[in-house]
Amino acid sequence: MTAEEAETAARMFKALGDPVRLRLFSSVASHEGGEACVCDISDVGVSQPTVSHHLKKLREAGLLTSERRGTWVYYRVQPSVLAAMGRLLAPAFAPAPSQDQSPAPTPAT
């Protein structure tokens, strides 16, 4: 893993590395229709401006997208994120650079 890849990946992990943000992200991702209004996910124990700040961070990290429709603002998960996460985690957990045949280093503890 190069320094550049690490930067990109770490930015995503970092965005999810806060309980409030993780819950917000999870709420959006698991919401019916794939999108959620801010008013539907604002019950995470912090003030509404704080929610907005966190949503901004998730947006800036490329994890969420926002769209205003009328009065409400809807957030949805950036589709590419799913694949990106998978690609990032897979090599870390099952690198198999060239000669490794074991798919996952799960040593019998």
Q: Which does residue 26 bind out of a copy of itself, DNA, none, counting CB within 5 to 8 angstroms by kind?
A: a copy of itself
53: contact with a copy of itself by CB under 8 A:
no
x/- track of binding to DNA for residues 11-50 (CB under 7 A)? ---x--xx-xx---------------xxx--x---xxxxx
Q: Which does residue 55 bind out of DNA, a copy of itself, none, counting CB within 5 to 8 angstroms by kind?
A: DNA
Please state whether 72 falls in left (phi above 0), alpha (psi between -120 and 50) or beta.
beta
Distances from the Cα of 91 to the Cα of 12, 79, 86, 96, 104, angstroms = 16, 20, 9, 7, 10
